[in-house]
Amino acid sequence: MRATTPGAQVRGDVAALLPTYGRVNDKKALPDDRASEPGAADIRAEAARLGFSACGIARFDAAPQAGARLKRWLDDGMHGDMLWMVKKADRRTSPRDLWPQVQSVIMLGMSYAPSLDPLRHADQPAIGAVSVYAHGGDYHDVVKKRLKSLARWIVGEAPDSELKVFVDTAPVMEKPLAQAAGIGWQGKHTNVVSTQEGSWMFLGAVYTTLDLQPTGQHPDRCGSCDACQTACPTSAFPAPYRLDARRCISYLTIEHQGPIPHEFRRAIGNRIYGCDDCLAVCPWNKFARAAEEIAFAPRPALVRPSLADLAQLDDAAFRDVFAGSPVKRIGRERFVRNVAIALGNQGGDGAVAALTPLLQDASDVVREAAEWGLAECGPPLDSSAARP
């Protein structure tokens, strides 16, 4: 769920974007005269060398139902105020709606499986819970850099090919394409599940003009399990495989602007950026090993973040603490709004002390959240303390 920007195009004949390499593989001639083009096994091997934990290939038309499912989801209003989903919906129906020249889609996964229990702060109301994916560096930067390296290698093998790389920043249906490419399946929580990485995978896509052999679709292995459905604190799943973003804590604390609806505030608990409950309870996680990518290692400030400390962040301090983090993109207003709600759920004298200065905050959204938080803490709010 990210704003859309054009994908980065990589061409073998555009020196400014990518150097042109000669054909380095001296392979035997193939009937279709593609002796120098890399095969699926070659691409998977290079992807693994670059740190991707999963790689698969699908044809451009391998997920024909994705567009209709997206339309139904949008028609039902489940996207909330993510209006960019509607504006770019026509370009998500098929990869060729985004780029008519694409023949194959290379889907890649990179593990961010945590080394610590992602729910370890559930019973620690004074500590802010941050989604695992945001503990370290921004995955957009890390994954895109590796995708570009893979693209360079492919162009080196097939100089006449053209490619585009995408990391959650363009109208690409990554999850259905990931299942079509065989690197996992879209689980009942709507995210991709892998038998090796569980529910902890970042996705990236390479669109290419190469006509590559498809890997084959991955079967759905959720079975009768409903752990993710019952774990959701806000009942955001109206049915398996369907998510109502308007009720999802990740959406409410990250994408949603303005005040968070009161009906969800207590359920948010101490979650100040995202929510991992549905992912964390997936049984397939038991096969996942902790991610080895150093960029995804938790930064010290997010190992045990104190709500009281986070409430004191001004804009400059917020930018400093979360430099290079996905958290930075939501801005200080939304983040401190979330912290104020979590402090209200924490309660006690410490929460009151942290919330009171926020009544003077420059942001209407933050002040409203602070007023709610203080009301939840018990003592009646002294209206004279509030900013006029």
Arithmetic mean of pLDDT, 210-215: 96
* CA distances (Å), origin 85, targets 1, 62, 206: 8, 21, 21
Q: Which of 208, 236, 253 is the last residue before a domain boundary?
A: 208
196 and 235 within one domain: no
Interatomic CA distance for residues 228 and 222, integer angstroms:
10
Give the chain's domain count.
Answer: 2
In degrees, rounded to 5, the angle at the alpha carbon of residue 304 between the alpha carbons of residues 303 and 309 is 125
Q: Does 256 have pLDDT greater than 60?
A: yes
Task: Look at residue 132 and tell me if it is in a domain.
Answer: no
Task: Look at residue 221 and tell me if it is in a domain.
Answer: no
Residue percentage of the chain with pLDDT more than 70? 88
Interatomic CA distance for residues 33 and 115, integer angstroms:
47
Domain that holds residue 26: 8-113+138-208
Burial (0-12, 13-18, 19+ Cβ within 10 Å), 217: middle
Q: Which of 181, 208, 235 is the last residue before a domain boundary?
A: 208
SS3 of 8, please? strand
Interatomic CA distance for residues 254 and 81, integer angstroms:
12
Interatomic CA distance for residues 97 and 84, integer angstroms:
16
Task: Look at residue 123 and tell me if it is in a domain.
Answer: no
Sequence-separated contacts (24+) of 122-126 with Cβ below 8 Å: 122/269, 122/270, 124/270, 125/269, 125/270, 125/342, 125/345, 125/346, 125/347, 126/270, 126/306, 126/307, 126/308, 126/346, 126/350, 126/351
290 and 145 within one domain: no
Question: For the segment 3-56, what is each residue's pLDDT rounded down to a tens digit?
Answer: 333 344 444 332 223 322 223 333 333 344 444 578 889 999 999 999 999 999
Query: What is the per-residue pLDDT for 169?
Result: 79
Arithmetic mean of pLDDT, 121-150: 96
Q: Does 218 have pLDDT greater than 70?
A: yes
197 and 162 within one domain: yes
> Does residue 267 or residue 16 have the better pLDDT?
267
Task: Look at residue 290 and tell me if it is in a domain.
Answer: yes
Arithmetic mean of pLDDT, 248-273: 98
Arithmetic mean of pLDDT, 99-106: 97
Contact 341, 369 (CB under 8 A): yes
> Does residue 357 or residue 35 have the better pLDDT?
357
Task: Look at residue 72 and tell me if it is in a domain.
Answer: yes
247 and 180 within one domain: no
Mean pLDDT (the chain, rounded): 89
Torsion-angle region of 184 (φ positive above 0: left; ψ -120 to 50: alpha; else: beta) = left
Instruction: State the pTM of this model.
Output: 0.88
Question: For the segment 296-348, what is each residue's pLDDT rounded down to a tens digit?
Answer: 999 988 989 999 999 999 999 999 999 999 999 999 999 999 999 999 999 99
99 and 202 within one domain: yes
Catalytic residues: 168
Give the number of other Cβ atoms within 10 Å of residue 30's Cβ: 11
Pick the closest to residue 194 from 209, 179, 213, 204 (CA basis). 179
320 and 288 within one domain: yes
39 and 78 within one domain: yes
Q: Which of 177, 208, 239 is the last residue before a domain boundary?
A: 208
Task: Look at residue 126 and tell me if it is in a domain.
Answer: no
Task: Look at residue 1 and tell me if it is in a domain.
Answer: no
Task: Look at residue 128 and tell me if it is in a domain.
Answer: no
Arithmetic mean of pLDDT, 115-124: 95
315 and 201 within one domain: no
Residue percentage of the chain with pLDDT more than 90? 83
174 and 28 within one domain: yes
253 and 177 within one domain: no
361 and 293 within one domain: yes
Query: What is the per-residue pLDDT for 36?
Result: 58
266 and 362 within one domain: yes
